[in-house]
Amino acid sequence: MPEFDLASAPLRDLNQALHAIEPGTNDLAFDIRNPRGSHAVAVGCDAPLTVNVHGSVGYYCGGMNAQAAITVRGSAGPGVAENMMSGTVIVEGDASQYAGATGRGGLLVIKGNASSRCGISMKGIDIVVAGNVGHMSAFMAQSGNLVVLGDAGEALGDSIYEAKLFVRGQVKSLGADCEEKEMRPEHVALLESLLERAGMTDARPSEFRRYGSARKLYNFSIDNVDAY
């Protein structure tokens, strides 16, 4: 198992090693020690790697991830798993702003709380947050799923498109064109699958409410001008 101690090894060497995986190699598990809030840890992975980061990280950890399973055994700064394509990113602590922003696929799990704009402009990613999310989460979310086991801040789902939002706790306010939706059997099944994948099977789908687009802002209408 390759091991990098960022107290002595340059971050560039780590990321170069993660990008230089040869086909057929068995060295697919990486241990990263002493990240000390470093930015851009394990960005751009494009192989079925297992990356364990022992400590907290700064900006953009796991950004553009494809295929890799990345675990942060600490908290993460802004933009964790930004533009993720596939694979998994697990944050065992809290996450700062715009976690999972523009994500196109894969699963992001945050076992603590997430700050503002979690899932902003998400485009297919699945995000499960064990705690709370801050204001403007899922702003302009186009597709994918955001599951929040705690509470959501102001303007949840503002200008949302076709993403699905599931919240177990309280929602401080809904954003423009976001409304509560019926929980049909297919949504219960989807939510149950997401909770299982995230390892949060103690939560029951019946405890959640679903939110999504009211579809009034898809095309300009003078009747809805106050909402733009």
pTM of the complete model: 0.95
CATH code for the structural domain at 3-227: 2.160.20.60
Nearest CA to 154 out of 173, 141, 180, 170 is that of 173
**Tokens 């509560």 map to which residue?**
180
**Tokens 């964790």 map to which residue?**
80
pLDDT digit string (tens) for the chain, length 228 residues: 799 999 999 999 999 999 998 877 888 999 999 999 999 999 999 999 999 999 999 999 999 999 999 999 999 999 999 999 999 999 999 999 999 999 999 999 999 999 999 999 999 999 999 999 999 999 999 999 999 999 999 999 999 999 999 999 999 999 999 999 999 999 999 999 999 999 999 999 999 999 999 988 766 676 766 655
